[in-house]
Amino acid sequence: MTKKLFMLIALAVIFAACNTIQEKSASSESTEQEPIDEQITITVAEFDKGAADYVGKEVKISGTVDHTCKHGDKRMFIIDEDTEGRVKINAGESILGFDAELEGSQVMVIGVVDELVVDEAYLDKWEKEVIEETGEEHKIHDGKHEKENQEGEDEDDTSHELERIKNLRQQLAESGKVHLTFYSIECISYEVIPPASDK
C-alpha cells in the first residue's frame, strides 16, 4: 500500500513538472508572437498619401531638404524629387534646430508622426493669441513665406499671421468639413546622406 501511495505521489510530481514546462513553453511562444511596435520605413509619397495611418508611430523617412524655417530653425520640409510629395519635419526635444545649410541635402529622418486638427475654435484661439502677440507656438508653417527682410530672415509679423488664419478659414469653409488635418513628423534624430560617388 505504501509502495502504491509512493508511486502515485511520484507520478503526480512528474505530471506537475511536465505541465509547468509545457506552460512555460507556451507562454514563451506567445511572447514571441505578440506584435512589437517597430520603426516603419516609409517614402515621402507614402507619407503624403496615408499619413493618418502612421499617427503616433515611429517612422524612418528620407528626402531632399526643400526648405528650413529661419524663424527659430525648428522646422524643415523634405521632398521626393520624383513626386510632388512634401513632408514637414518639426525639431523634437533632442534637436536644437535645422541649419539653413541643410537645404538641398539628402537626409534620413527618424521621428514620430504627429497630427494637428484645425477647426474654428482652434483658429479663434490662434487669432486671439496673435493679436495679443503670444501665438508663436501655434503658427502653421507651410514653408512658403511671402516676405523676407534684407538679411533674408522670415518676417512673421501679426499681419502675416492673420492672413494665414484667414486663408485657413477659407480652406475650412471650402472643404465643407468641420476641421482640417495637418500631418508632420516630430524628429528624434536625423543624418545627412552623403551623395553617391560617381565611381
Q: Among the listed ranges 23-27, 48-52, 96-100, 107-111, which one has the minimum average pLDDT value? A: 23-27
Predicted confidence at residue 29, as pLDDT, reads: 45
Average pLDDT, whole number, for the chain? 76
Q: How many CB atoms lie within 10 A of CB 4?
A: 8
Instruction: Give all domains of the chain, ordered by start, each with its CATH number.
Output: 40-145+154-193 (2.40.50.140)
Tens digits of per-residue pLDDT, 108-147?
999 999 999 999 999 999 888 888 864 455 555 555 554 4
Would you say 179 and 82 are in contact if contact means Cβ atoms under 8 Å apart?
Answer: no
Tens digits of per-residue pLDDT, 30-82?
444 444 457 889 999 999 888 999 999 999 999 999 998 876 678 999 999 88
pTM over 0.95: no
